[in-house]
Chains A and B, each alone.
Chain A
Amino acid sequence: MAVRERNNIYLPVKAEVVEKRHLSADVSLFTVRPDVPFDYRPGQFFMVSLWGAGEVPISVASLRKEGAKRSQQGGDLIEFCIRKAGKVTSLIHDVEKGGFLWIRGPYGRSFPLEYATGREMLVVGGGIGLAPLRPVIQWALRERNSIKKVSLLYGARTPDDLIFRDDLKRWAESGVNVVLTVDRATDGWDGNLGVVTTLWHKSEIDFREAVSFICGPEVMIRSAINDLFFFGMPEDRIITTLEAHMKCGVGKCGHCYAGRLYICTDGPVFSFREIKEHNLL
């Protein structure tokens, strides 16, 4: 017999796609309106699914509006930035505006944004790794009076792979020190070349005083945290978010086990101190 249980942790909520924006050849931003409101913070993720395709963990790419109205039509908008990378995400990419995704969450530990209060903030991103950092920068701009300076180092494979280009422009206009770089230039690119970790000198950050938030491919994270530690940034203030294979998001399926930790419930946000202590990278 089938029974519907309301507190079942695996039950997803229907969310209408109200906007779908192509950010690059294989990355799209899905703006969804779930049937019920969710409270979430930057760095947390949802299990996003499409019936018949499956579930994947996707971090939130938007900042929840403070005191957002919980209207009767459902919750406020949530944005998910999804790269066509595997079977499930490819099928999700076929969903257009007006279609539906199913979400459950939010899961995991969020970025400790309060560390940035009264300090300088350095944001380091690579490729689609900018997605979970976007709400961090949005938060910093909202709290600009209490944050001394915001600097963003962001790199991608080619200029076309740089995502959130509108936001990058807007952030630069709002006073964020935005430094971009690409691995391979295409016609019309006259900016930096090479990986983000060659651009520390352009960050205009006092490494010893600042807090850093990092997300990108594993090699980038690895060299970024080592460099920042070498420059004197305390290991508690070097913060990154890790990726793992996940099937449940709630600390049971075992796939994201790392040492004594579950990436899904204990992470995905970790400080360099925790990464060293638990041998996570």
Chain B
Amino acid sequence: MIFLTIEKARLREFLDAVSNEFRLIVPEKKGKSTYIFKEYTDFSRVALEFLRTIIPPKRFFFPPCETLLSYSEREGLTAVTEDIPFTVIFGVHPCDLHGVNILDRAFSYGGRDSFYWSRRERIGFIGLSCLPDRYCLCKSMHTDFIEDVYDLFLYTLDNVYMVSVRTAFGDDLTRLKSALFKSPTKKEILEYKRRIKERDSMFTRIMDITNLADLLTLEYKSEVWEEYSRSCLYCGSCVMVCPTCQCFDVYDTTDLTEGISYRIRRWDACMRKDYALVAGGHNFREDRPSRFRFRYLHKEIGFAEMHGRPTCTGCGRCSETCPAGIDMVEVVRRIRE
């Protein structure tokens, strides 16, 4: 890993250079306090101090709806893999980079998913440091810092960004405009250290995850699930905004005039009633409490036992988005009581 610095005032030149070579995706302000990832048009539109985008970056390599296969008598069977231009996503926070890492594992388990990886392999990441708000939970989930996945990571200092170059591709990116990058000075290193400490003290939201898997197992029949299942609307918003929710549905449609059938996959949500319904009418999780509980058990135990870490990245999107005001931290606190 190499460390460089770039003057804040010259970031525009760098992003312009990147967007000349690659498709560049950046965070932009959408509503009063909402942000989205969008194609780069002009540097003045880039949100440099933002918290979370509404939808995590997963939609660029795991789109909400995509055609997998097509079939017609004439053309036969075709795998529809989109040839996306090489893309750089700028401004990805540590929590979302952890989310990418989790999806990478999920879509490699049990055989490589060609549709996921055909896009994912053509995406590079420029991370950006952030300061927590009242929903940020990354410190508790140990995802407030990232040392993998990204190609470049920019730490905001007073006048410069401290740039961590993680990959060969990241190195290539800096060489697009190498005159912009310098070696960090002693003063900048000190400032970097001070900033880390400051940020660390800014977290107000703490979720105690000590022995959480055990507690969730012990409280499997807790009335807390029943209670929350009465206010949950089962709308699936928390799933749609989650950087690590991977579940999908697969279904066929036919274009009758063209005589082509398509096999399509789209995001699915485990709290939907027919999620675990099998032919013949048996439903493995029919009642509301077990559907509410399942998401917690999968995120904190199921995935952890398969891949060695829980899938929550502490990004805070689910708590911020829930129309019923259900807060994961509160649910876990109740289980812990």
Q: Do A and B interact?
A: yes
Which 7 pairs across A and B sit closest by C-beta, in order of nearness?
A251-B110, A254-B247, A85-B279, A260-B305, A51-B261, A52-B254, A86-B279
In the complex, are the beta carbons of A4 and B78 less than 8 A apart? yes
In the complex, are the beta carbons of A250 and B111 less than 8 A apart? yes
Residue among B251, B253, B270, B284 making CB contact with A254, cutoff 8 Å: B270
8 additional contacts (CB under 8 A) given A2-B80, A83-B279: A4-B78, A10-B115, A49-B263, A54-B250, A247-B248, A252-B107, A257-B270, A262-B110
Interface residues of B in 257-278 (CB under 8 A from A): 261, 263, 265, 268, 270, 275-278
CB distance from B331 to the nearest CB of A (A): 19
Which residues of A are in contact with B by a Cβ distance under 8 Å?
A: 1-5, 7-12, 14, 49, 51-56, 83, 85-86, 89, 102, 217-218, 243-245, 247-248, 250-255, 257-260, 262, 264-265
In the complex, are the beta carbons of A9 and B114 less than 8 A apart? yes
Q: How far is it, in angstroms, between the C-alpha of A254 and the C-alpha of B302 when the chains are bound?
A: 11
Residues of B within 8 A of A253 (CB): 247-250, 265, 268
Size class of B's contact patch?
Answer: 35 or more
In the complex, are the beta carbons of A11 and B79 less than 8 A apart? yes
Q: How far is it, in angstroms, between the C-alpha of A259 and the C-alpha of B216 when the chains are bound?
A: 12
In the complex, are the beta carbons of A252 and B113 less than 8 A apart? yes
Is there a chain A Cβ closer than 8 Å to B69's Cβ? yes
The residue on A at minimum CB distance from B68 is A10
What are 25 A-B residue pairs whose CB atoms fall within 8 Å in the complex? A1-B82, A2-B70, A2-B79, A3-B81, A10-B68, A10-B79, A11-B69, A11-B77, A54-B252, A54-B263, A56-B279, A83-B279, A85-B280, A89-B279, A102-B77, A243-B278, A244-B278, A245-B278, A247-B265, A248-B250, A250-B110, A252-B107, A252-B110, A252-B246, A255-B247
The residue on B at minimum CB distance from A128 is B280
Q: Which of B69, B110, B248, B280 has the most CB of A within 10 A?
A: B110
Residues of B within 8 A of A5 (CB): 79, 81, 114, 118
Is there a chain A Cβ closer than 8 Å to B74's Cβ? no
Residues of B within 8 A of A252 (CB): 106-107, 109-110, 113, 246, 248
In the complex, are the beta carbons of B305 and A55 less than 8 A apart? no
Q: How far is it, in angstroms, between the C-alpha of A14 and the C-alpha of B113 when the chains are bound?
A: 21
Contact with A along B114-155 (1 / 0, CB 8 A): 110010000000000000000000000000000000000000
Q: How far is it, in angstroms, between the C-alpha of A10 and the C-alpha of B81 when the chains are bound?
A: 12
Q: How far is it, in angstroms, between the C-alpha of A254 and the C-alpha of B245 when the chains are bound?
A: 9
In the complex, are the beta carbons of B69 and A244 less than 8 A apart? no
Residues of B within 8 A of A265 (CB): 109-110
Do A245 and B111 form a contact, CB below 8 Å, given A52-B261, A55-B263, A253-B250? Answer: no
Contact with A along B273-291 (1 / 0, CB 8 A): 0011111101010000000
In the complex, are the beta carbons of A255 and B79 less than 8 A apart? no
Residue among A9, A89, A244 making CB contact with B276, cutoff 8 Å: A244
The residue on A at minimum CB distance from B249 is A247
Is there a chain A Cβ closer than 8 Å to B165's Cβ? no
**A-B residue pair count with CB separations less than 8 angstroms:** 130
In the complex, are the beta carbons of B250 and A245 less than 8 A apart? no
CB distance from A26 to the nearest CB of B (A): 10
Q: How far is it, in angstroms, between the C-alpha of A264 and the C-alpha of B270 when the chains are bound?
A: 17
Residues of B within 8 A of A258 (CB): 284
The residue on A at minimum CB distance from B115 is A10
Residues of A within 8 A of B110 (CB): 250-252, 262, 264-265
Residues of A within 8 A of B270 (CB): 254, 257
Do A51 and B71 form a contact, CB below 8 Å, given A86-B279, A244-B284, A247-B249? Answer: yes
Q: How far is it, in angstroms, between the C-alpha of A250 and the C-alpha of B246 when the chains are bound?
A: 13
Q: How far is it, in angstroms, between the C-alpha of A49 and the C-alpha of B82 when the chains are bound?
A: 23
Residues of A within 8 A of B115 (CB): 8, 10
Residues of A within 8 A of B77 (CB): 11-12, 14, 102
The residue on A at minimum CB distance from B297 is A259
In the complex, are the beta carbons of A52 and B252 less than 8 A apart? yes
In the complex, are the beta carbons of B249 and A260 less than 8 A apart? no
In the complex, are the beta carbons of B284 and A51 less than 8 A apart? no
Contact with A along B177-211 (1 / 0, CB 8 A): 00000000000000000000000000000000000
The residue on A at minimum CB distance from B72 is A51
Is there a chain A Cβ closer than 8 Å to B112's Cβ? yes
CB distance from A149 to the nearest CB of B (A): 33
Do A1 and B83 form a contact, CB below 8 Å, given A252-B113, A253-B268, A265-B110? Answer: yes
Q: How far is it, in angstroms, between the C-alpha of A257 and the C-alpha of B251 when the chains are bound?
A: 19
In the complex, are the beta carbons of A245 and B277 less than 8 A apart? yes
Q: How far is it, in angstroms, between the C-alpha of A56 and the C-alpha of B278 when the chains are bound?
A: 10
Residues of A within 8 A of B261 (CB): 51-52
The residue on A at minimum CB distance from B264 is A54
Q: How far is it, in angstroms, between the C-alpha of A85 and the C-alpha of B72 when the chains are bound?
A: 26
